[in-house]
Every structure is written in structure tokens, then in C-alpha cells.
Amino acid sequence: MNGLYTALMCSFHDDGRVNEQGLREIVRYNLDVQQVDGLYVNGSTGENFLISTEQKKQIFRVVKDEVEDEAKLIAQVGSLNIDEATDLAQYATDLGYNAISAVTPFYYKFDFDEIKDYYFTILDSVDNDLIIYSIPALTGVNMNLEQFGELFAHDRIIGVKFTAPDFFLLERIRHQFPDKLIYSGFDEMLLPASVLNIDGAIGSTFNINGKRARQIFELAQNGQLNEARDVQKVTNDLITDVLSNGLYPTIKEILKVQGVDAGTLRKPMKPLTADGAKEAERIANTFIT
């Protein structure tokens, strides 16, 4: 399960339906052009928290049908509704996903015992391995080293998608749990995370910048830090421009410039203005090869 995974975008029609053909095109672009090792399906980048349970299942099904056994697949099943989470976990497992993942429960201020019970309930419902999705900036859930240890004590919690800038905690997790998988979740911080001996990364911008991500990761692994820093600088120039223009709509527009039917966004997300679309085209022409 080591390697680079795209946090997969999903293509939607203007009326909010899943655009299956567009989704397949996004999958193919990631595998054939960006050459990532796998896909992280129905995460934040896939607008997961804006769609219905049936649409989530549809996306899981279409992606698996397109990929088959060509790449590794991780199914993000986390939900505030534990019944939905366990239902999706079983559905993705039955489809043959290599692992499931679940965001920490959010919005309500759950204590750690509640968070732990959430993860163990999901695992009790399914015969699959689970990767914690930790993104404190969006969930408000900050877990410490001891709490990660309590979760990692479950032999089927195999790792964490670590989307946080706390490199002290990242290093401590790496030191304390050498057999658990650590995936970096902040694309702009891939180099410093790689120096700390992560096992891979899961990134939104890998949809359009996966090849550079691999360069950063492999150069760092080989000790070529100056070269890796140069590639991270270009990557961060790209990320700066994308964030300034709107993360998700800009990535979708760049995919369109590359000939991929990336569709539109789910409301309440808004599409790019005409000027925003021109800026996305400029970014694509400047950075995407």
C-alpha cells in the first residue's frame, strides 16, 4: 500500500448527477498520465460530503470498474452517520477495494472515547483494513501521540492520512509506530514529510501534478534534497496560483484544458467566472506538461 495516491476528483453534471464518463476520464488521466500508484476515492476532493449515499456507491462502483486491478484503491467511507459509514465500508469491501479510510467524526465536539468507538464500530462491520483520515483544520479534531497509539493498537488500523502541519507529531508517530503506514496529506509540504520517512502521500493536486509529486518523493528518498527542493518550489508555485483562483474549480478547469471531462461542482460550490477560467488555462499552460 506504499506510494502516491490521488485524492480523486469526481465529474458531475450541471444538475448534480455523477458524470460517469467524465469520472472514468479523470481516473484514466490519473493512471495513464500522472502515473500515480492508486486512488483515494470519495474524500474531500471528491466533494464527498455534498452527495448522497447512493452517489457515493455509484462512484465507488464506477472507479472500481474502470481500474479493476490496475492500481490500489482506498475507499473513504467516513460519515457523521455511522450507519452510512458501515454500509459504505461493506459496499467498498465487497467491490474489492484494498482498504477503507474514514475521516474523524466532526462538527459535534466528540471526545476521544467516542472517536475510538466510531472507528472500532466501522471495523467491526467489515473485514478490511482501515486508514485514519486526520485533517484537524477541517474537523477540529486534534489527536495526540497516545491517542493515535490507542487506535493503532487495533491490528486492522494500518495507518493514517496525516493532513496537518505538525511535523513534530508526524516524526513521533513515525518513530513510535514504524510498522504503520503514514501518508502525507498536504501537497505543499510533501518534501519535509518525505524527509521524515513517510510511506506515501495522498493529494488533491496529484490530479494534475502527480508526476512532480513522484519526483519530490523519490528524490527525497534518495537523499537528493536540493533537487527535491527545486521540484517542490515549482509545485508550490502551482499550488499558490491554484489556491488563489479556487482549489477545486481550478483543478477541474485544468483537467478540461487537458481534454478531460471534469464536469462541474456540486452546490453550494460555485463555478469559475470567465476570468477565473482564463486564469486556470494560464496555470495549465504554465505548469502542466
Task: Evaluate whether residue 74 is within a structural domain.
Answer: yes
Contacts of 174 by beta carbon, 8 Å cutoff, 6+ apart: 182, 196, 197, 198
> Which grid cell is 184?
502525507
C-beta neighbour count of 84 within 10 angstroms: 15
Task: Evaluate whether residue 161 is within a structural domain.
Answer: yes
Task: Evaluate whether residue 12 is within a structural domain.
Answer: yes
205: closest CA among 45, 37, 2? 45
The answer to whether 185 is a known ligand-binding residue is: yes
Catalytically active residues are 133, 161
pLDDT for 210 beyond 80? yes
Average pLDDT, the chain: 98
Ramachandran quadrant class, 269 (left: phi over 0; alpha: psi -120 to 50; beta: rest): beta
Q: Could you give the CA distance from residue 228 to residue 131 in angstroms, rounded to a whole number? A: 27
Structural domain containing residue 54? 3-222
Tell me the CATH number at 55: 3.20.20.70
Residue 184: phi and psi, rounded to 5, are: -70, 140
Task: Evaluate whether residue 71 is within a structural domain.
Answer: yes
Q: Which amino acid is it at 37?
A: D
> Which grid cell is 253?
478547469
pLDDT tens figures, 20-33: 999 999 999 999 99
Q: Please calculate the CA angle 93-100-182 and round it to the nearest 5 degrees.
A: 150
Q: What is the pLDDT of residue 289?
A: 74
The answer to whether 79 is a known ligand-binding residue is: no
> Which grid cell is 28?
484514466
pLDDT tens figures, 19-75: 999 999 999 999 999 999 999 999 999 999 999 999 999 999 999 999 999 999 999
Q: What is the pLDDT of residue 51?
A: 98
pLDDT tens figures, 67-101: 999 999 999 999 999 999 999 999 999 999 999 99
Task: Evaluate whether residue 209 is within a structural domain.
Answer: yes
The answer to whether 188 is a known ligand-binding residue is: yes
pLDDT tens figures, 224-259: 999 999 999 999 999 999 999 999 999 999 999 999
Contacts of 188 by beta carbon, 8 Å cutoff, 6+ apart: 232, 235, 236, 239
Q: What is the pLDDT of residue 16?
A: 97
Task: Evaluate whether residue 78 is within a structural domain.
Answer: yes
Are 39 and 76 spatial neighbours (Cβ–Cβ below 8 Å)?
no
Over pLDDT 90: what percentage of the chain? 100
Q: Could you give the CA distance from residue 241 to residue 264 in angstroms, rounded to a whole number? A: 20
Mean pLDDT of 88-115: 97
Helix, strand, coil percentages for the chain (3-state, nearest 5): 55, 15, 30
Quick one: pLDDT band at residue 109, thresholds 50, 70, 90? Answer: very high
The answer to whether 45 is a known ligand-binding residue is: yes
Integer-rounded Cα radius of gyration of the chain: 18
Distance set, CA 37 to CA 172, 178, 288 (Å): 26, 21, 19
- Indicate the number of domains in the chain: 1
Q: Could you give the CA distance from residue 125 to residue 242 in angstroms, rounded to a whole number? A: 39
181: closest CA among 154, 157, 199? 199
Task: Evaluate whether residue 178 is within a structural domain.
Answer: yes
Task: Evaluate whether residue 75 is within a structural domain.
Answer: yes
Q: What is the pLDDT of residue 258?
A: 97
